[in-house]
Amino acid sequence: MKISLYILIIMVLGLSACQENDKHRPGERSRKEIRDSIYRSLPRQTINGIYFYGKDKSELRLCSDSTKKYYVFDNTGKIDSIYMALLPFQYPYEPLSVRFKGVVKPHPKFGPASEYDSVMEVESIQKAISVTYEDSCYAYDFFGLNMNPEWMLVISGKYQIIVLKDYATRKIYQMRYVHGELRPDKSVHFDTRLENADVPVLIHFSRVETKDTSSGKIFHYNCTFKISDKAYSGVGIKFGELPYANEAEDEADDAKKAAEKKRVKRR
How far apart are the C-alpha atoms of 53 and 212, rounded to whole Å?
32
The answer to whether 78 touches 125, Cβ cutoff 8 Å, is yes
Encoded amino acid at 173, one letter: Y
Consecutive H or E run containing 252: helix 247-266
pLDDT by position in tens, the chain (length 267) = 444 544 444 444 454 444 544 555 555 667 666 666 666 667 899 999 999 998 889 999 999 998 899 999 999 999 999 999 999 999 999 999 999 999 999 998 988 899 999 999 999 999 999 999 999 999 999 999 998 889 999 999 999 999 999 999 999 999 999 999 999 999 999 999 999 888 999 999 999 999 988 888 999 999 999 998 899 999 999 999 999 997 655 555 555 666 666 666 665
Indicate the pTM of the whole model. 0.77
CB-CB contact of 163 with 156 (8 Å)? no
d(CA 20, CA 208): 78
